[in-house]
């Protein structure tokens, strides 16, 4: 098992840049940002005949376990993720990895 973890955060579009900046200040070496579309409210939108796309930014940060807590907290704080509706963040173990951090 490697000592690498993945921090994944899903936030509203336009918010990733400030979160990545805070993560880098906390020790992250980099991040990957991609775009997605949320689906949690689609049934209600269909019922009400509303067409609203819920654009999201997905942030992926690979880090050593020893640096995890500080970087994760920077993501949570800068994204205000403890406030309802601001997004989510979670951590996954990376059991195998090729390449260097």
Burial of 70 (0-12, 13-18, 19+ CB in 10 A): middle
Longest dimension (CA), the chain: 49
- Find, among 66, 76, 89, the residue nearest to 18 by Cα: 76
* Domain extent listing, the chain: 4-94
pTM of the model: 0.85
17: tokens are 């840049």
Q: pLDDT (tens digit, 9 = 90+) per residue, 30-80? A: 999 999 987 665 555 665 655 555 789 999 999 999 999 999 999 999 999
- Find, among 86, 30, 89, the residue nearest to 62 by Cα: 30
Report, at the CATH architecture level, how domain 4-94 is classified. Answer: 2-Layer Sandwich (3.30)
């Amino acid at each position: 098992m490697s000592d690498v973890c993945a921090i994944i955060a899903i936030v509203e579009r336009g918010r990733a840049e400030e979160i990545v900046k805070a993560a880098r200040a906390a020790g992250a070496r980099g991040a990957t940002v991609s775009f997605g579309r949320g689906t949690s409210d689609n049934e209600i939108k269909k019922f009400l005949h509303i067409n609203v796309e819920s654009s999201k930014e997905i942030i992926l940060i690979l880090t050593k376990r020893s640096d995890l807590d500080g970087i994760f907290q920077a993501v949570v704080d800068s994204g205000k993720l403890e406030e309802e509706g601001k997004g989510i963040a979670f951590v996954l173990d990376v059991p195998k990895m090729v390449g260097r951090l």
